[in-house]
Structure 1
Amino acid sequence: MTKPDNPDFSAQETLRLIGEAPVNWVPDIRGIDHNVTIIGGGQTGATFAFALRRAGIGKVNVIDAADDESHAGVWLTRARMNKLRTPKSLAGPELGLSGLSFQSWYEARRGAEAYASFDRISRIDWADYLKWYRNFLGIKIRYATKLLQIEPADGHFRLHLDVAGRHHIEMTRKIVLGNGVGGAGGAYVPPALSSLPKTHLAHTSEVIDFTGLKGKSIAVVGSAASAFDAAATALENGAANTHLFARRASIANVPINRVRGYPGAYDNYPHLPDAIRWKQALRFRAAGSTPPPDAIERVVRQSNFHLHLGAPWDVADVREGKVVTQIHGQTFDFDFVIAGTGYFADPAARPELVAFADKIRLWRDQYSPAADERDSSLEAHPYLGLAHEFLEKVPGQAPYLKDIHVYNPAGFVSFGLPIGDVPSIRRDVPAVVARISRDLFLADLDHHEKRITGSVDPEFSEQLYASAIWQAETIAAE
């Protein structure tokens, strides 16, 4: 199959056939800069921006703290896998428009045979596709713009922003938190590692200079996919050796979330009773996060990779420039430690949410599990509404919370896994956009009632059909 002269022909045809996006129908409000502000300019931000455009919602503001496009998102920065962990066939940012899909983009450039030849999408190819998606659709993202604080203000929000080092204040009506895996909490660092200096410790969520680890001995703590990816990247950049330490006696290898991945279960998961969702979250926590087989194969083929099972770190300190720990009575020393230990959810830990974090309903406020089903980590997750919105801990105390939509893994207990990434786009982006549309429409109902009941000029006069009006024949009386 030959590649077309214009690789964007299918995408252009798709946009032509669905027609122009609706004109912005949301009325301007004095003092309001944005109808919707999206925090995060990665795949989430771009997808929401396009979906809102197609819903006729204008004045959408997408911000990202990264300095520029090349440093935004995770795919060229903190993601270290060779291939995405999800099947290539999943629906994604195209939102049901095949001409905008990864497959269409890839086949237009390399052919159908090339697409058929691989099982999962290369991380670099995915990053290139997302760049094309943003540029082709004209998604405007304001880089070097960091959200400092969200301040409720007269039914809207005052955003405190750092824009290229200068403080800005802007007003918005709605907010979408598309700010990644740590977006409603942060990176979890175990107590045993928390006292280590940054010169000797990094979390997998951070940008790590792996070239600076060449020739050094590296410890990776954790056994999920990101830990194996970090270990492999260190070795591929010339680390002398890498030791990976897992708490479990074996690597988690049962992807239990697959049994609820069919459309009936996944699409309707948010409607499940709280008790069922809680037990599902507990079940996932007990089974553990499963790294894909190729992530493990990538390191085990290296002779200088060493795996330690049933080996949690209880203590670590720096002595003579080395990180020293004891595992099962054996002393180890390393030049650097990477924590692949996941994330925690806690709105109070996010500086941008501190003004009202204590008013957000958490799972601990909503559901009381049996004593043997308690889990403080899960209890700290926000209890989200059906459109991923924050809910009030006390009804009537903070009604503005419904205007903040959380599209990141903080929704794990409420929505199940996966959440906030490619597999959840098909279910969740339309639901959030539909709620934003409804809320904005009803908030301005007086305006819209006048608009939809306003006078309309006739399209034609009676003269158009006058000549065809039936005239009964008059029969003269005899």
Structure 2
Amino acid sequence: MQYNVQAPLNVAASTLEELEHRVRDDLACLCYPPANWVETTDGAEKVHDVVIIGGGMCGLVAGFSLLAGGIRNIRIFDRSPEGFEGPWLTYARMETLRSPKQLTGPAYGIASLTFRSWYVAQFGNDAWAEMDKIPRPMWMDYLRWYRKVLSLPVENNIEVKSILPEGPLMRLTLAGSGAKEATILARKIVMATGRDGMGHPNIPDFVAGLDRKFWAHSSDAIDFQALRSKRVVVVGVGASAVDNAAEALEAGAKEVRHLIRRKEMPQINKLMGIGSFGFTAAFSKLDDARRWQIMNYSLRTQTPAPRGSTLRVSRHDNAYFHFNAGVKSVEQSGDELIITTQDGSRLVTDFLILGTGFTVDPLARKELEAYADKILLWRDCYTPPAGEENKELGNHPYLSADFSFREKEAGTAPWLANIYSFNAGAAASLGKLSGDIPGISEGAAILAREIAARLYQENFEQHWQALLDYSTPELQGDEWKASPLPDAEQIQSQQAEEV
């Protein structure tokens, strides 16, 4: 099915309107949203209970989960224009999602909020049965609808520049055309910042010093039309590498060559084979050795690009897959690049695309730079057995079970417990609960429950006083009549009668 994100859906509005009525009815049955129960902590300045950084899929479901838990004093910021949050219409270039269409994603256990309900309301059950995978732009339209139907308070064109402790609170510095304040105060901060939300694009050293016009990372805004009739090399063969290769080929590139350091194509998505409610529930409770064992194995075997994406490349006669061809060096020669591979082979090309993914590196996050070195990392806590070393995995933050950061040295940065890494950086500690479609609702439920517990504990004295002060009677006093106890003679007389 072809799907044009720029065109409005050409369907009867009444079907979607009916679904939206169903959503509102479902929410009413679930008493959503409940009254706010969190104690106000405002002083001279308003204090927000939770600020969520990121209004993409993770930020939306995180916001919904907090509102559903009666935590209503929240704000959600996203630096992108409305409707373009997340990667779906920017650097994501696959035709369809990898995830099976039936996964419930951010629906949070509510059937009417699933992608399936949204799709069937517009295209019908027959179209649903025929569809293989979800078109990527259509997923973005679904998320736009999800935000609208739930009235989630996302504020766009706002970037959080820094997060600094201020007593028991956190002060956020804001920038961007959507920012109404220069700074705000918050008790808790959720970094729902997606795939690159706890690091940055992985840029190999071999491009250092090269003119930027000759290369790009797969997450960059690439002018593919400018690659028409050009020779293109793509480093890597993961999903992003393959998708960018396909874009270049479809734009009319003269040739596209994948340079792949592996000896053979990855073919099995290992984590997909073991996904279950048990895996999701148990992962954070496993010891460090077992969590490392699972994540290290997954990273080393590598998740393959989807079959459809790979066929999208290989159907072109001018596409080439070169294995055992890791890049050793790249030199600029006039308007060409000369690439030398690990085996000494040389290749000349016009443009280089790095399909090298993202790296997790809390030290690189500008928002946290004043104290990022105080964040506890996996490399600080666990030394793997010989042969199981993994620098990338060691750079992941070693999170608490509620997604919050931990201090490398006790007492040096206690405010880190107020910042929650609800993004790809949580994978080593909690599994795939805060970035991928399969476990996102379960992750949001854990996040909301744990934040609620912390907020309640921090204001226990106020909640205790509220218990003491509560005086609304259930009974009015006219529901009963007091009766005197019988005296001894009455009891003896009654016993005699019974005999």
Counterpart CA distance in 2 for 1:285 and 1:462 is 68
Matching residue within 140, 164, 173 for 1:151: 164
In the alignment, which of 405, 408, 417 is matched to residue 393 of structure 1?
408
2:441 counterpart of 1:426? yes
Q: What aligned pairs does 1:10-409 form with structure 2 within 5 A after superposition? A: 10-29=22-41, 30=43, 31-66=45-80, 68-164=81-177, 168-327=182-341, 328-409=343-424
After superposition, give the CA deviation of every residue in 1:355-388 in whole Å (9 maximum; x if it has no partner): 1111111111111222332222221111111111
Distance 1:94 1:418 in 2: 14
Per-residue CA deviations over 1:249-269 (Å, capped at 9, x if unaligned) read 111112221343122123211
Q: What CA distance in whole angstroms lies between the structure 2 residues aligned with 1:93 and 1:372?
A: 38
Q: CA RMSD in A?
A: 2.3
Structure 1 SS opposite 2:205? coil
Structure 2 Cα separation of the partners of residues 375 and 463 of structure 1: 73
Cα displacement (A) at 1:179: 0.8
- Taking structure 2 as the reference length, the TM-score comes to 0.89
Q: Which runs of 5+ in 2 are unaligned?
A: 1-11, 494-499
TM-score (normalised: structure 1): 0.93
- Deviations 1:174-224 (CA, angstroms, capped at 9, x unpaired): 111111111111111111123322212211122222223223221111111
Q: Which range moves more in the overlay, 374-383 or 254-263?
A: 254-263
Aligned residue type for 1:287: T
Q: Deviations over 1:304-345 (max 9, x none)?
A: 211111111111122112222123444322222111101111
User: Alpha-carbon deviation of 1:237?
Assistant: 2.1
Secondary structure class of the residue paired with 2:133? coil
CA distance in 2, matches of 1:262, 1:22: 31
SS at match of 2:439: helix
Aligned residue for 2:258, secondary structure, equals: strand
2: CA distance, partners of 1:322 / 1:71: 35
- The question of whether the paired residues in 2 share the 8 Å contact of 1:13 and 1:99 is answered with no
SS of the residue aligned with 2:182? strand
Structure 1 unmatched runs, 5+: none
SS of the aligned residue for 2:346 comes to strand
Question: Offset of 1:125 from its aligned partner?
Answer: 1.5
Give the Cα separation in 1 of the matches to 2:23 and 2:286.
38
CA distance, structure 2, for counterparts of residue 470 and residue 99 of structure 1: 58
CA contact (8 A) 2:89 2:140 kept: yes
Equivalent-residue separation in structure 2 for 1:419 and 1:291 (angstroms): 21
- Within 2, Cα distance between the matches of 1:373 and 1:270? 20
Q: Percent identity?
A: 34
Q: CA deviation at 1:347?
A: 0.9
Superposed displacement of residue 46, structure 1: 1.0
2:451 maps to amino acid: I
Alpha-carbon contact 2:88-2:137 (below 8 Å) kept: yes
Q: In 2, are the aligned partners of 1:260 and 1:266 still within 8 Å (CA)?
A: no
Relative to 1, partners in 2 of residues 1:267 and 1:165: Cα closer, same or farther, differing over 3 Å? closer
CA distance in 1, matches of 2:287, 2:129: 41
Letter in 1 for 2:140: A
